[in-house]
Amino acid sequence: MLKKTLLALGLISMVFPLAAYASEADIAAISVGLDSLWVMLAFILVLLMQGGFILLEAGSTRMKNAGHVAGKTIFTVGLAAIVYWAVGYGVIFGTGGIPGFMAFSDFFLTPPLTAIEGEGIPTAVFFLFQFAFAAISLSIAWGGFAERAKLISYVVFTLFYVSFIYPIVAHWIWGGGWLANHGAQDFAGSTVVHLTGATAALVATLLLKPRIGKFNKDGSPNEILGHNQVFTALSVLILWVGWFGFNAGSTVAIDDGFFAYVGFTTLIASGAGGFAALIISWIVGGKSDITATLNGVLGGLVAITASCAFVEPWAAAVIGLIAGILVFYSVKMFNKLKIDDPIYALSVHGMAGIWGTLANGLFATPELADKVGVGQAGLFYGGGIKQLWVQFESVAVAFVFVFAASFIVLYVMKLLVGFRVSEEQEIVGLDLSEHGVYGYPEQLTKAE
């Protein structure tokens, strides 16, 4: 027995020689390498969430727009990469500029080839990860454009949104800006990514006005069903998986394994969100609603995004439950307000984003606030009203800024080049009118 143990130990030390003989510098290098690998993996997961958005948008809209809806996500992500490299990254994480408001350097970034000793993960991997967030926020905004915006508007909006609108908010909260100085807690971006995207979507849908046939003359809404509920369900799964990169990856380090706890709260909240939405739709509507359940899971994910590193498991469950119910009622509310929200972006990313950010002000624990090093404990943990106020401030300010900035961009664009396709184009579908081919050529004919 003893012989066997010694033999095994010997073999292990051959396989992992560093474990036995590593110097402190080696350990630091390995640690940076592992952290980089984790962030790279998280970047890949978050980028793959675009696949979720492709299916979510395509599944929730009509067949005649499917190719357009799916394809435009790919090209806007590509365009966003260039714009983010050229401008966006520098506005968030650069130096100089207007202190607290925006940075102004590192445009057309040339990152060092490797990690710089003592400075953590390489800039390149940090850039990749951060870019993926900007791209997600952009894809959320497209929810307000769906099924009626001109293709050119996607190009124009990408340029402005990824270079300034998103980066300015991200700088305030993540880039050492003024809200960061106030102690605003938004771990992975309930406000920075989700509310910002949803606010842009709101502006777009208000300026575009509802899709043809969404509301009757007397104001009563019609149901425009998505063409593929299986796509929509699959999209939620893809987003759900990706979200573990989104939230847990936001530790941007492996360190002591805290990222796993972040993933843990993420899971609890999303499950609670889906469950709550299922039950509330069942109770209130008489029948359980699949779309509501899917939105509930997403709502739970969006809400926990800000608070995943700041709250205890029970609080994660409560945050998710409330998000699920909130999203359900929010969808009803937008219908009542006659605001067309085809992908439910306003409810899922907007309302749940607001709730998730505010939730920190209630549920953040002193230990976790300390650990993350941002802000302080929430109302239920003896922190008083202060953190809740800061959270409210960041939500309100981000909303007002993004609303105003997006409005200016989209309104001017509407005046100069137009925003919405013609009635005929909308009826015939964007696949044909914008691209000349159908996404489902066998099933649709030009005579439609």
Q: Does 24 bind other proteins (CB under 8 A)?
A: no
Q: Does 285 bind other proteins (CB under 8 A)?
A: yes
Least CB distance to other proteins at residue 300 (A):
23
Q: Which of 118, 257, 286, 373 binds other proteins (CB under 8 A)?
A: 286
Compare residues 285 and 313 and give the one whose CB is closer to other proteins: 285
| Stretch 64-93 residues interacting with other proteins (CB under 8 A) | none
Compare residues 79 and 284 and give the one whose CB is closer to other proteins: 284
Compare residues 181 and 222 and give the one whose CB is closer to other proteins: 222
Q: Does 181 bind other proteins (CB under 8 A)?
A: no
Q: Does 230 bind other proteins (CB under 8 A)?
A: no
Q: Does 113 bind other proteins (CB under 8 A)?
A: no
* CB-count burial class (<10 Å; 0-12, 13-18, 19+) for 414: middle
Q: Which of 5, 23, 110, 220 binds other proteins (CB under 8 A)?
A: 220
The stretch among 42-50, 55-63, 84-92, 277-285 that binds other proteins (CB under 8 A) is 277-285
Rounded Cα distance between 436 and 441, Å, is: 11
Token pair recorded at residue 292 = 């509501």
Number of helical (H) and strand (E) elements in the chain, helices listed first: 20, 0
Q: Which of 221, 371, 425, 435 binds other proteins (CB under 8 A)?
A: 221
Compare residues 82 and 284 and give the one whose CB is closer to other proteins: 284
Compare residues 113 and 283 and give the one whose CB is closer to other proteins: 283
Q: Which of 48, 155, 284, 333 binds other proteins (CB under 8 A)?
A: 284
Token pair recorded at residue 270 = 């999303």
Q: How far is CA 180 from the centre of its chain?
A: 19
How many Cβ atoms sit within 10 Å of the Cβ of residue 359?
Answer: 30
Q: Does 276 bind other proteins (CB under 8 A)?
A: no
Burial string for 379-403 (b: 16+ CB within 10 Å, else e) reads bbbebeebbbebbbebbebbbebbe
Bridge partner list, 149: 420
Q: Does 283 bind other proteins (CB under 8 A)?
A: yes
Size of the site for other proteins (CB under 8 A): 9
Least CB distance to other proteins at residue 229 (A):
16
Compare residues 285 and 382 and give the one whose CB is closer to other proteins: 285
Closest among 285, 295, 402 to 344, alpha carbons compared: 295
Residues near 78 by Cβ (< 8 Å), separated by ≥ 6? none
Q: Does 213 bind other proteins (CB under 8 A)?
A: no
The stretch among 20-28, 68-76, 122-130, 279-287 that binds other proteins (CB under 8 A) is 279-287
Residues near 28 by Cβ (< 8 Å), separated by ≥ 6? 117
The stretch among 86-94, 100-108, 214-222, 359-367 that binds other proteins (CB under 8 A) is 214-222
Q: Does 333 bind other proteins (CB under 8 A)?
A: no
Q: Which of 24, 223, 424, 442 binds other proteins (CB under 8 A)?
A: 223
Rounded Cα distance between 286 and 246, Å, is: 35
Phi, psi dihedral angles at 121 (to 5 degrees): -65, 155
SS3 per-residue string spanning 185-212 = CCCCCHHHHHHHHHHHHHHHHHHHCCCC
Token pair recorded at residue 142 = 């497209």
Half-sphere exposure of 49 (CA within 13 A, CB side): 28
Give one word for 191, left, alpha or beta, with left for phi > 0 and alpha for psi -120 to 50: alpha
Q: Does 288 bind other proteins (CB under 8 A)?
A: no
Rounded Cα distance between 26 and 63, Å, is: 56
Residues near 36 by Cβ (< 8 Å), separated by ≥ 6? 115, 121, 122, 125
Burial string for 336-358 (b: 16+ CB within 10 Å, else e) reads eeebbbbbbbbbbbbbbbbbbbb
Compare residues 32 and 327 and give the one whose CB is closer to other proteins: 327
The stretch among 57-65, 216-224, 319-327, 429-437 that binds other proteins (CB under 8 A) is 216-224
Q: Does 338 bind other proteins (CB under 8 A)?
A: no
Q: Does 222 bind other proteins (CB under 8 A)?
A: yes
Compare residues 111 and 221 and give the one whose CB is closer to other proteins: 221
Residues at the interface with other proteins (CB under 8 A): 216, 220-223, 283-286
